[in-house]
Amino acid sequence: MASNQGVPLFIDDKRFGAYLSPVKSQRIFLTGASSGIGAATARLLAQKGHRLILISRDLSAMKTWAESFENNQVLVHEGDTTDAESMRLAAQEMMDRWGGIDVCIPNAGVGVFSPLSEAKLSDWHRMVDVNIKGVLNSIHACLDALLENKGQVIQIGSVAARSVFPNSGVYCATKHAVLALSESLRIEFRDRLAVTTINPGAVNTAFIDQTTNTELRESYRPTFDQGMAPDFIADAILLAIESKGRGIFSEMTVRPDLR
């Protein structure tokens, strides 16, 4: 049974290999929790005794395993990050249930690869809506509670936050925006808010399936198939959360192993 109390925490992975001091159960707001990095993160954080509200449009994908945790350790909220009111209600549910928010992880994101000359405007708008507006909605909903508790924002950026790649100009622009927002939060709330941005390279999830350009999708698929397991990104998120008090990871770039 998962516990809501502070427990000795050990990242059982030689890539980190860090023994972390016992920490109290953190109250965590996590979007995009039904699949990929979000699902892996939700499971790991819950197993470590943290309390989470999991937010996704796909309620059924979260609900079955979340119910295995007792004492309301894991809440599920059917919501869309592009809907500011939905994010406000999720944050309020946390406040009503647990009295505060310690960590906000606006993980939900989309990426559609296409040459700019062939791209659909609707795909551009969707990336902006989810990757930028969805992040803003999530952070805005949690910010007052985070500042009150000297909490933490963990942003999921991308190597595309530091580089620009062909066929992904708008996606790169959205991840540059995420990084800029992280830096703004860090500067404005230096003594009141911990801010971490994790920039993954290719991760082996269904991310590439969002690309409708068949030729590009299949040419990129081997890169994603050989990418990092989402559990590895979850490990990095756990490390960022449970290192607080000793130091803060402002930015972490994680890439696939050498082959």
Point out the residues that are catalytic: 171
Asked whether 113 and 220 are in contact (CB, 8 A), the reply is yes
Asked whether 27 and 101 are in contact (CB, 8 A), the reply is yes
Q: Which of 28, 6, 7, 10 is closest to 19 using CA atoms? A: 10
Read off the DSSP letter of residue 57: S
Strand partners, 50: none
Residues 6+ apart with CB under 8 A from 4: 25, 49, 51, 71, 73
CA distance 96 to 82: 23
Other C-beta atoms lying within 10 Å of the C-beta of residue 144 = 12
Q: Checking DSSP bridges between strand 7-10 and strand 19-23, what pairing results, if any?
A: antiparallel
E strand map for 107-258: 152-156, 194-200, 251-254
